[in-house]
């Protein structure tokens, strides 16, 4: 039998200096064993008078089965026995368009993210059999390299991290540990319902595999690790390409992209979309987006709306990601140039010393109403702000949310772009450098 305590102790060593560990505690066999292991490690640290993180457990009540409340109470009692703080969160996954399994997972992870603070680590009790099932499920869905990496042992989650210390441990070893220490756990009757795909694999397919390939779990685990390495290497190459083609405004240069082989174009576009949107798009939807923008003409301005109110747009053969619509409301009162000004839903204006802009009176922030004119510093006449914004190639949807800085009713500067005549620092004057950071405009 695998000696689980030293294995978990070694796996968690990098996290012992953290302030807090959270256990995702369902009360089932796997999380019950991990709870017991963590309790033993904490007890050992206490006896040895060595530091150990604050240990917490979180239980998610999905409210999908009638005994769910009883299960939550069982988990709370178990944690009380081990003197481990217990957090209970109830979620509602009814009425979701996605499948019950996917909706429950999404709701669960939202709660996990909500409790994690910077530096916190969430521990999950997934094991080697879970990894094998995940790999096979994704293979059956036609996943690519990243999908076939299955479950990562470690990744960021909200403000903290997620870690799976038992991912290389077969379920048989976990069962043997539970038997040795006479642990009690919750048996979820839905785990035997082969209507669910994972249960079908677990109950019908995996036993057949084990008859002919007894070590299939180890082989699947190794395959997942190799896919994870390949995915990481591929991401690094694509990220380098993406960085080279990304402008300061975070837009993607479609002209440079067009000079690459088609397979490379598609990979870079996929990476751009996924990194900007954070959405797990279906392959068919992603392929539609890639085809639409890779074929965009020089004079076209196609758009593609994504879930969550965001949109992909092309302007002057550059691809932008941002909100579908934006309502810019000018803040009331004067702007104290020495303090950052956050404009909700729009962005933040800051000013740093030793720049070229000199206020010559009280400042206020406005947005375009139409008909504005601007005499740029050093020029002898004013010009239409509309034409200037076109000349500066500011995308149309960003123009209405670009802050205009007024001084005593006179246009003094366009935030982050230009300074108007009369407001540029003269010899011996100390000015400010105005910075404009849009909120998800690109």
* Tokens coding 207: 């036993």
3-state secondary structure at position 143: coil
> Known binder of ligand: residue 29?
yes
Is 119 within any annotated ligand binding site?
Answer: no
31 is in an annotated binding site: yes
Q: How far is CA 323 from CA 134, 158, 306, 392, 439, in A?
A: 34, 21, 9, 21, 9
In DSSP notation, 361-386 reads S-EEEE---S--EE-BTT-SS-EEHH
Note whether 109 and 60 are within 8 A (CB).
Answer: no
For residues 264 and 270, what is the distance between their CA atoms, to the nearest angstrom?
A: 10
> 28: annotated binding-site residue?
yes
Task: Tell me how crowded residue 68 is: count the other CB atoms within 10 A of its CB.
Answer: 15
CA separation, residue 4 to residues 17, 175, 188, 214, 219 (Å): 21, 11, 24, 21, 21
Does residue 283 have a known ligand-binding role? no
For 355, other C-beta atoms within 10 Å of its C-beta total 16
Q: Kindly tell me the burial class for residue 307, based on how many C-beta atoms sit within 10 Å of its own C-beta (0-12, 13-18, 19 or more).
A: exposed
**303-305: strand order across its sheet:** 252-253, 318-323, 310-315, 303-305
C-alpha 193, offset from chain centre: 32
Establish whether 27 is an annotated binding residue: yes
Helices (H), 128-182: 128-140, 145-148, 171-180
| Binding site feature residues for ATP | 26-31
Residues marked as binding? 26-31
């Amino acid at each position: 039998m695998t000696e689980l305590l030293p294995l978990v102790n070694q796996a968690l060593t990098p996290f012992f200096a953290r302030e807090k560990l959270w256990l995702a505690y369902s009360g089932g066999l796997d999380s019950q064993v991990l709870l017991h292991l963590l309790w033993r490690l904490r007890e050992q640290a206490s006896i040895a008078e060595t530091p150990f993180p604050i240990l917490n457990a979180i239980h998610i009540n999905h409210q999908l089965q009638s005994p769910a409340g009883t299960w939550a109470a069982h988990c709370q009692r178990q944690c009380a026995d081990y003197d481990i703080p217990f957090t209970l969160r109830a979620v509602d996954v009814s009425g979701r368009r996605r499948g019950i399994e996917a909706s429950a997972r999404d709701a669960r992870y939202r709660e996990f993210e909500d409790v994690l603070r910077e530096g916190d680590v969430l521990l999950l009790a997934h094991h080697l059999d879970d990894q094998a099932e995940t790999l096979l499920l994704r293979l059956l869905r036609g996943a690519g390299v990243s999908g076939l990496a299955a479950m990562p042992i470690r990744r960021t989650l909200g403000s903290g991290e997620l870690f799976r210390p038992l991912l290389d441990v077969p379920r048989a070893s976990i069962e043997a540990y539970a038997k040795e220490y006479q642990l009690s756990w919750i048996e979820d009757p839905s785990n035997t319902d082969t209507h669910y795909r994972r249960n079908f694999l677990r109950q019908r397919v995996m036993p057949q595999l084990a008859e002919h390939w007894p070590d299939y779990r180890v082989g699947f685990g190794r395959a997942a690790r190799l896919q994870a390495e390949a995915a990481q290497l591929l991401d690094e190459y694509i990220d380098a390409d993406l960085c080279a083609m990304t402008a300061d405004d975070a837009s993607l240069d479609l002209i440079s992209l067009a000079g690459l082989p088609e397979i490379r174009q598609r990979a870079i576009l996929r990476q751009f979309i996924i990194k900007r949107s954070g959405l797990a798009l279906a392959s068919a939807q992603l392929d539609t987006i890639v085809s639409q923008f890779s074929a965009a003409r020089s004079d076209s301005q196609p758009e593609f709306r994504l879930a969550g109110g965001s949109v992909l747009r092309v302007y002057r053969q550059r691809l932008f990601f941002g909100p579908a619509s934006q309502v810019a409301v000018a803040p009331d009162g004067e702007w104290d140039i020495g303090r950052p000004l956050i404009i909700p839903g729009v962005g933040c204006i800051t000013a740093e010393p030793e720049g070229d802009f000199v206020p010559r009176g009280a400042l206020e922030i406005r947005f375009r109403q139409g008909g504005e004119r601007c005499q740029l510093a050093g020029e002898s006449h004013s010009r239409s702000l509309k034409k200037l914004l076109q000349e500066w190639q500011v995308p149309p949807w960003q123009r209405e949310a670009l802050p205009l800085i007024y001084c005593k009713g006179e246009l003094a500067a366009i935030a982050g772009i230009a300074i108007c005549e009369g407001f540029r620092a003269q010899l011996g004057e100390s000015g400010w450098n105005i910075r404009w950071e849009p909120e998800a405009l690109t």
